[in-house]
Amino acid sequence: MSEIPYKIYLAENEIPSKWYNVRADMKNKPAPLVNPGTGEAMKAEDLFPVFCEELCRQELDNETPYIDIPQEIQDFYKMYRPSPLVRAYCLEKFLDTPAHIYYKFEGNNTSGSHKLNSAIAQAYYAKKQGLKGVTTETGAGQWGTALSMACAYFGLDLQVFMVKVSYEQKPFRREVMRTYGAKVTPSPSMDTNIGRAINEQFPGTTGSLGCAISEAVEAATSQEGYRYVLGSVLNQVLLHQSVIGLETKAALDKVGVKADMIIGCAGGGSNLGGLISPFVGQMLRGEADYEIIAVEPASCPSLTRGSYVYDFCDTGKVCPLAKMYTLGSGYIPAPNHAGGLRYHGMSPIISQLYDDKLITARSVKQTDVFEAAETFARVEGILPAPESSHAIRVAIDEALKCKETGEEKNIVFGLTGTGYFDLVAYQQYNDGTMEDYVPTDEEIAKSLAQCPKI
Ligand SMILES: *Cc1c(COP(=O)(O)O)cnc(C)c1O
């Protein structure tokens, strides 16, 4: 057996002290956010009423390659970072593959995912600006949980609009949020104009992420001392998540391993963007080459079947427009889709990298995803989140290809979180009642026809 340990840890003083901003090295920058009314690019001042000022600057900064991580955030990172890079010896043995498989595990904190990396940064800048609190939306609750931890740490008020169906059917993350002091409201609610309008138009609706975003933005802009924060898609979030990729690269360098292939699941694109940023930076500077694969659900295939156009980020159309690979803001994945990653669009950075063919994308069906999740849980000992299991699926497929070709590829994937709160989805899989759904071309075309003409 090789000398590479099962877990490659960095020392505490090797946790990155700067985030890496891949936009600085991109020749084609991601398209700017635009005002839906005027079609003009948003300037920092235009975003100040909605987001914290420092975060607006980070959002628009396409030039600065390295941005200092404030000491307070570094101190918080020390509580749960560095996260381990694990050599999946047991999985390799089970697959009988010559490939070397590594995964970066971000589930070692109470929120159970990578989302805490950006939540703590966003809460810090809100506190520093002297705000009273922040508002946000959450679907199944991972982002709301991470943000509630971050707000409790800095003594900020937090109001979470949680998609109603999750609020009612997934009470556990809701209680974690409340334990950390957040106020959790089922969306659509009767607390906002948009919520009341949606409830009137669609009585009994169980809500959607796009609707909860609209409510959270309205709540932030209508209360003194509040701003809105978002857990994915935005450039600032990918910047904060670069801590994942920087640690991964440092750990691989430490053991003298060069990755051949890097795989990540893609919902809004934040963990993938964070994981690949330093590696893509090398590609952009002509220093190294990697094969990078974004993995998305077949039922919500924004990269593999969407269009690269300006679209709304939310149902209520209160947010700026973003140019991204999208299925249309009205697209809602089939109700039997249990695996997460259900956002209609994709990070503008990931979208541009994909359009420039620096990364590739693949879509996978949810029963295949859960089969991979089960294999992984049994041999590697971690119960993976359904989202993360999209990356596991493709890592296993690629390792099996290596078995045929005899290639000793180094495959690295992002294991973004744990699946303890996703047991209803696991139950469907175990009961054999989980179904796959792949939208037709007509359904996607119909939804895309609603995109604004810009
Ligand atoms: C939210 C989440 C994702 C998807 O979000 P991205 O912004 O695409 O990274 C993936 N895995 C887990 C565990 C999550 O909680």
Specify whether 218 is located in the same domain as 334. no
Specify whether 411 is located in the same domain as 265. yes
Contact yes or no for 224/252 (Cβ under 8 A): no
Specify whether 41 is located in the same domain as 141. yes
Distance (angstroms) between ligand 1 centre and the Cα of 331 equals 19
In a domain, 365, yes or no: yes
Task: Tell me which residue has tokens 């707000």.
Answer: 151
Specify whether 144 is located in the same domain as 227. yes
Task: Tell me which residue has tokens 């020749």.
Answer: 27
Specify whether 216 is located in the same domain as 252. no
The reply to whether ligand 1 has any atom less than 6 angstroms from the CB of 241 is no
Specify whether 388 is located in the same domain as 349. yes
In a domain, 453, yes or no: no
Q: State the pLDDT at residue 2.
A: 58
Distance (angstroms) between ligand 1 centre and the Cα of 404 equals 32
The reply to whether ligand 1 has any atom less than 6 angstroms from the CB of 416 is yes
Q: Write down which residue in 187, 206, 235 finishes a domain.
A: 235
Specify whether 145 is located in the same domain as 220. yes
Question: Which numbered atom of ligand 1 lies nearest the CA of 271?
Answer: 9
Question: Which numbered atom of ligand 1 lies nearest the CA of 274?
Answer: 9
Specify whether 404 is located in the same domain as 261. yes
In a domain, 73, yes or no: no
H-run or E-run covering 122: helix 116-128
Contact yes or no for 297/364 (Cβ under 8 A): yes
Specify whether 230 is located in the same domain as 251. no
335: nearest Cα among 265, 434, 233, 420: 434
Distance (angstroms) between ligand 1 centre and the Cα of 178 equals 21
The reply to whether ligand 1 has any atom less than 6 angstroms from the CB of 21 is no
Cis peptide before 188 (omega within 30 of 0): yes
Distance (angstroms) between ligand 1 centre and the Cα of 3 equals 32
Distance (angstroms) between ligand 1 centre and the Cα of 181 equals 23
Q: State the pLDDT at residue 1.
A: 45
pTM: 0.97
Which class for 80: exposed (0-12), middle (13-18), buried (19 or more C-beta within 10 A)?
A: middle
CATH no. for residue 392?
A: 3.40.50.1100
Q: Write down which residue in 204, 235, 266 finishes a domain.
A: 235
Distance (angstroms) between ligand 1 centre and the Cα of 341 equals 7
Specify whether 268 is located in the same domain as 222. no
Specify whether 97 is located in the same domain as 169. no
Distance (angstroms) between ligand 1 centre and the Cα of 420 equals 15
Mutate to test the pocket of ligand 1, among 147, 149, 270, 350 (most ligand atoms within 8 A of CB): 270
Distance (angstroms) between ligand 1 centre and the Cα of 405 equals 32
Instruction: Measure the CA–CA gap between 154 and 174, rounded to whole angstroms.
Output: 20
Pairing of strands 100-105, 85-87: antiparallel
316: nearest Cα among 200, 454, 444, 209: 209
Instruction: Measure the CA–CA gap between 115 and 271, rounded to whole angstroms.
Output: 8
Q: State the pLDDT at residue 268.
A: 95
Q: What is the pLDDT of residues 256-296, one digit of tens each?
A: 999 999 999 999 999 999 999 999 999 999 999 999 999 99
Specify whether 211 is located in the same domain as 280. no
User: Residue 172 is encoded by which pair of tokens?
Assistant: 């556990």
Under 8 Å CB-to-CB from 166, ≥6 apart: which residues?
138, 139, 140, 141, 173
Q: What is the pLDDT of residues 9-53, one digit of tens each?
A: 999 999 999 999 999 999 999 999 999 888 899 999 999 999 999
Contact yes or no for 281/25 (Cβ under 8 A): yes
What is the per-residue DSSP string for 193-247?
A: HHHHHHHHHSTT----HHHHHHHHHHHHHTSTTEEE--SSSSHHHHHHHHHHHHH
Contact yes or no for 263/398 (Cβ under 8 A): yes
104: nearest Cα among 316, 251, 211, 225: 251
Q: State the pLDDT at residue 405.
A: 98
248-281 burial, b for 16+ CB within 10 Å, e for fewer? bbbbbeeeebebbbbbbbbbbbbbbbbbbbbbbb
pLDDT along the chain (454 residues), means of 10: 85 97 98 92 94 97 98 98 98 98 97 97 98 95 97 98 90 95 97 94 87 94 97 97 98 97 98 98 98 97 98 86 95 83 94 98 98 98 97 98 98 97 94 95 96 89
The reply to whether ligand 1 has any atom less than 6 angstroms from the CB of 385 is yes
The reply to whether ligand 1 has any atom less than 6 angstroms from the CB of 113 is yes
Domain count, the chain: 2
The reply to whether ligand 1 has any atom less than 6 angstroms from the CB of 268 is yes
The reply to whether ligand 1 has any atom less than 6 angstroms from the CB of 388 is yes
In a domain, 74, yes or no: no
User: Residue 94 is encoded by which pair of tokens?
Assistant: 């089970």
Mutate to test the pocket of ligand 1, among 387, 420, 422 (most ligand atoms within 8 A of CB): 387
Distance (angstroms) between ligand 1 centre and the Cα of 39 equals 30
Distance (angstroms) between ligand 1 centre and the Cα of 271 equals 6
The amino acid at residue 23 is R
Q: Write down which residue in 191, 212, 235 finishes a domain.
A: 235
Q: Which domain holds residue 173?
A: 19-67+115-235
Task: Tell me which residue has tokens 């946000």.
Answer: 136
- Report, in this order, helix, strand and coil percent for the chain, each rounded to 5: 45, 15, 40
In a domain, 282, yes or no: yes
Pairing of strands 100-105, 18-20: unpaired
- Ligand 1 atom 5 nearest Cα: 267
